[in-house]
Amino acid sequence: MRLSREKIPGIVVAGLRGGSGKTIISLGITAAWKSLGIRVSAFKKGPDYIDAGWLSRAAGCPCYNLDTFLCLPEVVQDSYLTHSQASDIALVEGNRGLYDGIDLEGSTSTSELAKLLKLPVLLVLDCTKSTRTMAALLMGCIQFDPDVNICGVVLNRVAGKRHEGKVRASIERFCNIPIFGSIPKLSVEDFPERHMGLVTSEEHSFSETAIEAAMTVARDNIDLDGLYRAVTSKAVLSIDKKPPSSDTFVPGIIASDLSGSGISVSGSEILKPVDDDPLTIGVIRDSAFQFYYPDNLDALKNLGAKIIFISPLEEDRIPAVHAIYMGGGFPETHAPQLAKNQAFRDALKRLSRNGLPIYAECGGLIFLGQSIQLSGIEYPMSGILPICFGLSRKPQGHGYTSVEVVHDNPFYKKGEVLKGHEFRYSKILTIDYQDHEMAFRMERGKGILEKKDGFFKDNTFGTYTHIHALGSASWAPALVNKARNYQSSLRSDS
């Protein structure tokens, strides 16, 4: 049995490599279309949080990640279909080069995602110090996989009209591919780089100005009307796919959207509330902690949790919650403020010792630790886990991860294999742990140390591995169940 379902027209913006300029062009096109009254759904290929955050601002709605390493292909398809339904067009920003992936087959590449979703590709060509060679590179991309529909190109970092003319003439003669725009060399001042390319939109004090600048670049240099017509007039408005197996649990997908597909959305294993007392999960979110997949928050909401946001930068107390989810970010850039807020740090430690479920990833893991040392100064953190962190100039863990759950712990069953990713500059200076307190053995990736990750005490769990709720189906039910149990224990004590 195969399902065919109408889908919204869309386009994948790809480059020949990372750093080719596709993010600014994706932002510009998205914001420009939105300014014209076109409803745009934005997506980011891969596990990136920062580009997704900028695209969310440009589109005016959440940007969802599409990742065929973290999630099953049919789940990626459903995510695209679900989150683009209210739009006129979708834009998917690729990552790395068009055909780059983790294996020789390119199974996790932007090109494979484009084929999976039956979307055309707009290829961004960085023309720096090149003319005729750009036609050769484009021809190679076209012929490398004829099933990839490269519908047009945008020339980027063009040195002037003479340079542009030579590149255009070469592409028109040898490739017969439409050129939808030509963008001159730009200053990077509006988009300073840090870690994964761009700083977060939350950290950039001129984020709206930056998006406005990207929109102006797109308006002045790209044929937006022609590109929109090209995408919508030839769109493939269906995706043929094999339905997921009946035991696939996808907590972040809307139940009504999957009726008849065989997917369990609620699952009998989820504990139900015994009364109308709302189950509340606190999400630590501010400029220090902002790395959250929208799907992860959706998954918790779809399982009945009320989400409230808490800031250790702005608040000195923790409101009544039944669990805390603390994502990644850049706590090192806010270490003095976090250290100064002793009332919040003490409250978090006290709640942890009293059994409050806490799940923390990467930057959140740092905040669970004893301290972080920066430039010879030691800043105290919450002191829940006996780890002292430092910071390196080079990444200490970078890329996809695969972990096996090897020890009993509050959130995962032994034997589970989870896929995720890690990206960190922090390093372990000192740590005091017993082997059974590390839930994960890293099959791929670095982890906390010695291929171990998932450090836990009581109901507090810290890991360098970021997971995606649609790919790690047990995560959201486990956190909700732990929160429900904690809620019940509070009732029993009252």
Chain-centre distance for alpha carbon 42 = 12
Cβ-based neighbour number of residue 1 at 10 Å: 5
Label the pairing between strands 438-444 and 397-405.
antiparallel
List beta partners, residue 372. 379, 389
The number of helices, as runs of H, and strands, as runs of E, in the chain is 13, 25
Which of the following is catalytic: 61, 71, 175, 362? 362
Please give the backbone phi and psi of residue 280, each rounded to the nearest 5 degrees, phi first. Answer: -120, 125
Label the pairing between strands 387-391 and 371-374.
parallel
Chain-centre distance for alpha carbon 54 = 11
Q: Is the dihedral of CA 360, 290, 341, 314 positive or negative?
A: negative
Dist CA 11 CA 151 (whole Å): 9
Cβ-based neighbour number of residue 423 at 10 Å: 20
Dist CA 78 CA 437 (whole Å): 36
Determine the 3-state secondary structure of 209 from DSSP: helix
In three state form, how does the secondary structure of 358-413 look? Answer: EEEECHHHHHHCCEEEECCEEEECCCCCCEEEEECCCCCEEEEEEEEECCCCCCCC
Of 358, 251, 308, 328, which is closest to residue 48 (Cα–Cα)?
328
Radius of gyration of the chain (CA): 23
| Alpha helix segments (H runs only) across 236-325 | 294-302
Dist CA 463 CA 472 (whole Å): 14
Residue 63 falls in the annotated catalytic set:
no
Given a contact cutoff of 8 angstroms between Cβ atoms, the answer to whether 200 and 17 are in contact is no
- Answer left, alpha or beta for residue 19, where phi above 0 means left and psi between -120 and 50 means alpha: left
Which DSSP symbol is given to 260? T
Catalytic residue numbers read 362
